[in-house]
Chains A and B, each alone.
Chain A
Amino acid sequence: MYGFEAMTFNIHGGYLEAIVRGHRAGLLTAADYNNLCQCETLDDIKMHLSATEYGPYLQNEPSPLHTTTIVEKCTLKLVDEYKHMLCQATEPLSTFLEYITYGHMIDNVVLIVTGTLHERDVQELLEKCHPLGMFDSIATLAVAQNMRELYRLVLVDTPLAPYFSECITSEDLDDMNIEIMRNTLYKAYLEDFYKFCQKLGGATAEIMSDLLAFEADRRAVNITINSIGTELTRDDRRKLYSNFGLLYPYGHEELAVCEDIDQVCPCCDGKISSLPINFLQTILRREPDA
């Protein structure tokens, strides 16, 4: 069917494509951002946003606004639009849309588990979770003591279950292995998503492989930088890199042996022309204090 996919496209995708194109018109423009820069109070921001598509979400907020409320309400718009599209989507688009949320789900799981480890209130943690990554039994995560329990109690019901096979251990949870868990999950997730997109083929594979390769490379660089100076061994570090992307496989070998932050940049040289080098420098500048 390659080449003829546009012929039957409108049957399933026509409405949603129109919706997405409509959403693009609702994005804030450069002029909007210029105006937002000139705002002096949060009320000014609300007033300016009220002329945009965010207006209906903010109009019923009482006047002493908080930044969190603005962010929350604007995220709510995204979530509402996402939910609407998910409701309308048919296979394989609905699966694709669900894949998008898995990243948020992983972050939420890590957030809750870390939070419980530091004895924070679950309700408070739940408020901080990204609404796209919510699943039913997320609050139960607090019950689990170690990875095995985490998997057996809660995650076995979620779409994240297959990604967990790598990291089922009976070790107690601590910051270090939570972070490793996050990265293992992400690795499995990205690889799965990549495979799914390749299976779909066509424009999806073309565009998504670039985007996912970028994400995989970004994470690889990130992991390298964050693991320098920790007790993570080279082999363990090597295991966390996703098995695709522009850095795979030779870049990964080089990244795995990096001992300090200045060695990271040369590793990526020449392999990732599409990854703007100044972006990399931005990461390098930002990451140490993160």
Chain B
Amino acid sequence: MEKFIDNLSPMDLMRSEKMSLVQLIIPVESAHRAVSYLGELGLLQFRDLNAEKSPFQRTFVNQVKRCGEMSRKLRFFKDQIIKAGLLSSIHPVVEPDVELEELEMQLAEHEHELIEMNSNSEKLRQTYNELLEFKMVLIKAGSFLVSNNNQAVAEEWELSENVYSSDRYVEASSLLEQQMRTADQSGLRFISGIIFQSKALRFERMLFRATRGNMLFNQAPAGEEIMDPLSAEMVKKTVFVVFFSGEQARTKILKICEAFGANCYPVPDDFSKQRQITREILSRLSELETTLDAGIRHQNKALTSIGYHLTQWMSMVRREKAIYDTLNMLNFDVTKKCLVGEGWCPVFAKAKVQEALQRATFDSNSQVGSIFHVMDAVESPPTYFRTNHFTNAYQEIVDAYGIARYQEANPAVYTVVTFPFLFAVMFGDWGHGICLLLGALVLIARESRLSTQKLGSFMEMLFGGRYVLLLMSLFSIYCGLIYNEFFSVPFHIFGGSAYKCRDATCSDAHSAGLIKFRDPYPFGVDPSWRGSRSELPFLNSLKMKMSILLGVAQMNLGIILSYFNARFFHSSLDIRYQFVPQMIFLNSLFGYLSLLIIIKWCIGSQADLYHVMIYMFLSPTDDLGENELFWGQRPLQIVLLLLALVAVPWMLFPKPFILKKLHSERFQGRNYGMLVSSEFDPDVEPDSAWEHHEEFNFSEVFVHQMIHSIEFVLGAVSNTASYLRLWALSLAHSELSTVFYEKVLLLAWGYDNVVIRLIGLAVFAFATAFILLMMETLSAFLHALRLHWVEFQNKFYHGDGYKFKPFSFALITEDGD
């Protein structure tokens, strides 16, 4: 038997990859290239040898800083490209990689160019905005003034801060100032300008307060939106004209204008002058517009040319940064000519790593080759499973509970099948199964497209679990066929029902029942059960028993896996004093129950299994009476009960005492503690962590063992009961779908009204999609998850390892920096 087990061909996923701690000694001149080749290979996890140094005390800090600076420039380019509304990654040009220094220079050049262009266009834009605002003020304020002129008010215009210095305006202003002085006696002046619409109300209030109400405020919304130079957004502005009197009021109003960011523009009183200025402004505006357009075209061209390379540059800079970050983990050796690195590497990849190192030496024309050798490891190596598209999701399910200890049995191997199956037991309906299958198939068919694009968190989850979804749907179609449910409707797929009415009228079908007239229905549940009075008792008993059978089988598998673990780590102690009593305890109680269930199914007995199980404990010697299923059941029960009772102290006491004895024998009379500790290789017995400690704490070990035993004994009962959730959820699912089918769809169909029927159909479709397909899937998923994590894995799985994280360019993601 043991030979047979040893000769089994090794399963890929069962044990994590064998790891070895390796040391690399790389000459400085080829270090960069070597690390970059290793990054492409992606099979070596570097250990940080400078953990005590802060990031800026490390060797290659300057290069890291430069990379940071470069990625900042690249982000700036990206922002600019997005701001300009160009698409960056449409035609990524793949060019041979340029040198880092060259790239740095290029980037600096581009940045300089862009900043200059930006500042130029900003200046132009500002002038343009001012002119545009002036134009609006002229148009809007002009109309106020004209209407005021008609009332024959001697009006006065006020020249305020004239922002642009065109000669003509200076001239005009001096001319007009004279006018102003003459009209000063009338005392009424005005200031016109433009302000953000959002600030206009507060502005008016402030003006009112400052002048104590001695002013008149006119406003009109500006026709066009103006670009805000800071945020490059279009904002609405309001043109205003304030009439007031007095010099003090003027300074106050100007100060307030300044505080509110309102731009003041002079509007000439004279209508003809107004028109003249407007004309000039319009001509200047069109000039500026062409200049601006040319500038934008130029800028866009520059940005597009950058955009071609942007993706490549970004990934290159990211790689360089990763390389230098890794180089920072290495140590200089004594001569300062070599870098020394340590790392974990799977045994199968050693040759590849060596090859990469050689290639690096060769390519960089180094005189000295790199040295690669295996070291002894004290700590436990990382856990690495080579998964593929299909198994990855299942491995993730297991990893979410805990990363496997190095080389321990991996539950993911069994999870691939048991997880979707247990899900399907709870979700058995082949109609719903087909819906899920379609969804899964869509995800799988678009795999290549979806895997490249960014998805939302929910879609990401769904996409990551597409193969889980596929198997879940296939199994639920299978279970649905067994339960004979299609959206809760039974079908006669595998022939006719085995039952028929007692007479032609079928009047007593619900009172006296049907009679069986031919062989049982060949596959699954007979469709005649649907709607009968005994439907629920029958299905409940079936599903309950099935749940217990599945549960006992899965828990036995878990315990058997603990046997494989013990064998693998050569710990016969665990086999003899843990595996054997556990097996006996579980199977003498619940294994026996399963046996009874199967016998009852086979011989069609009426025996009450609850009664049998309960009185097996309460009064094992009593006669079973009509509940006896087979000859010799009573003595067998007594034997099983005794076995179970013996198994408890068996798993509790011997192990800690034997451990104590072993320990005291091993360390008897030994004084050379240091030598002793190096005597046994930790690789042989990584499981026995206590051996690394010098002292052996018996009480601790004993308490630990006690907790474990009690947990197992109590857990055997509660875990078996826990598997009844398979029945409970399956019941809930079928009842819910029955309710939606009968109380919504059939009820609505009873009416002879198209609208009601459509509403009924819609409600049914929504309920099916959201409650049955989404909520129920989630809940069945979670319960299946719990059954695996708690009931299955606690029998053997330690899950206290850590994951293998190789240095790999493929893993450096977009948001990595």
Contacts and interface: CB of A to CB of B under 8 A. Distances in A.
Interface in B41-63: 54-57, 61
Interface stretch (B255-263, B396-404, B432-440, B628-636): B255-263
Interface in A108-145: 122, 136-137, 139-140, 142-143
A153 interface: yes
B259 A139 contact: yes
Contact of A59 (B56, B64, B72, B256): B72
A interface secondary structure, majority: helix
A76 to B, nearest CB: 16
Give the most central of B206, B256, B259: most A CB within 10 Å.
B259
Contacts of B258: 122, 139
B321 to A, nearest CB: 12
Contacts of A137: 202, 206, 259
B789 to A, nearest CB: 26
Contact of A48 (B55, B72, B202): B55
A8 interface: no
Contacts of A38: 54, 56-57
Nearest to B261: A139
Given A38-B54, A39-B56, A140-B260, A47 B61 contact: yes
Contacts of B76: 60
A155 to B, nearest CB: 11
A51 interface: yes
A21 to B, nearest CB: 23
A143 B65 contact: no
Interface residues on A, range: 20 to 34
* Interface of B, helix, strand, loop or mixed by DSSP: helix
Interface in A44-67: 44, 47-48, 50-51, 59-63
B252 interface: yes
Contacts of B209: 152-153
A60 B56 contact: no
Contacts of A143: 210, 252, 255-256, 259
Contacts of B260: 139-140
Given A59-B72, A153-B209, A142 B57 contact: no
A62 B72 contact: yes
A43 interface: yes
A90 B256 CA distance: 35
B259 A47 contact: no
Nearest to A136: B202
Interface in B242-270: 252, 255-256, 258-260
Contacts of B65: 43, 47
A63 B68 CA distance: 10
A51 B55 contact: yes
User: Interface extent on B, as a size class?
Assistant: 20 to 34
Interface in A4-63: 35, 38-40, 43-44, 47-48, 50-51, 59-63
B206 A50 contact: no
B778 to A, nearest CB: 24
Contacts of A142: 255, 259
B735 interface: no
B206 A63 contact: no
A252 to B, nearest CB: 38
Given A60-B75, A143-B252, A50 B68 contact: yes
A1 B583 CA distance: 56
Interface string A144-172: 00000000111000000000000000000
A153 B72 contact: no
Contacts of A62: 72
Contact of B69 (A48, A63, A136, A139): A63
A40 B210 CA distance: 53
Contacts of B64: 47
Nearest to B64: A47
B379 to A, nearest CB: 24
B69 A153 contact: no
Contact of B206 (A51, A61, A122, A153): A153
A48 B68 CA distance: 12
Contacts of A61: 72
B684 to A, nearest CB: 39
B328 to A, nearest CB: 12
Contacts of A139: 258-260
Nearest to A62: B72
Contacts of A63: 69, 72
B255 A48 contact: no
A35 B202 CA distance: 49
Interface string B401-416: 0000000000000000
B210 A48 contact: no
B206 A47 contact: no
Interface string B150-190: 00000000000000000000000000000000000000000
Contacts of A35: 54
B717 to A, nearest CB: 36
A7 B660 CA distance: 51
A96 B96 CA distance: 60
Identify which of A61, A139, A143, A152 gathers the most chain B CB atoms within 10 Å of its CB: A143
In the A-B complex, the 5 residue pairs with the smallest Cβ-Cβ separation, listed nearest first, are: A139-B259, A35-B54, A44-B56, A140-B259, A143-B255
12 contacts: A38-B57, A48-B56, A51-B55, A59-B68, A60-B76, A61-B72, A122-B258, A139-B260, A140-B206, A140-B259, A142-B255, A153-B209
Given A51-B55, A63-B69, A153-B206, 7 more contacts: A50-B68, A60-B72, A60-B75, A140-B206, A143-B210, A143-B252, A154-B206
